[in-house]
Amino acid sequence: MSGPADQAGRVRRDALARLARRPMSRARLAAALIARWGDERAVSEVLDSLARAGLIDDRAFADEAIRQALAEAPAAEAYLVARLVGLGVDEALARQRAAAALANHDEDADARALARECLARAPESLPIEARLRRVAGRLARRGYDEETVRSALDGLSPG
């Protein structure tokens, strides 16, 4: 017969295995462990222990997720916050980390740079209106608001 210590050991091994495969937010890891083991108390105790050991750190996780997102392409704060929340990061922490990451960024300049890159990659065989719609869509998907998108498109000189 297995006791609470055995259950906590299994939960801990599972948590460590999941973290070894890829970094996870505390909330996402908790959801996965509860779904598998069903023991919320054991999961909470294990996660507290892992957090004390520095193996779960939502702030560091958020910063790394932001770094990866911005390495793909420029993005607005709204995009970064939504991405982090989708990964299980608390919304307040997501907003704080996204704002900190973009503190030295010029959103308009980033949007213009992304717009130029997208336009350069759009097939020349498409009419300019279609290429500009694609650019606008890409900017919107990266979280830029309508005014920023419009401004970035106005700054393009189709070639």
For residue 36, give Cα distances in angstroms to 4, 19, 26, 41, 88. Answer: 16, 15, 15, 13, 17
- 3-state SS of 12-60 is HHHHHHHHHHCCCCHHHHHHHHHHHHCCHHHHHHHHHHHHHCCCCCHHH
| pLDDT tens digit at each of 159 positions of the chain | 466 678 889 999 999 999 999 899 999 999 999 999 998 999 999 999 999 999 999 999 999 999 999 999 999 999 999 999 999 999 999 999 999 999 999 999 999 999 999 999 999 999 999 999 999 999 999 999 999 999 999 988 655
Return phi, psi of residue 107, to 5°.
Answer: -55, -45
Model pTM?
Answer: 0.84
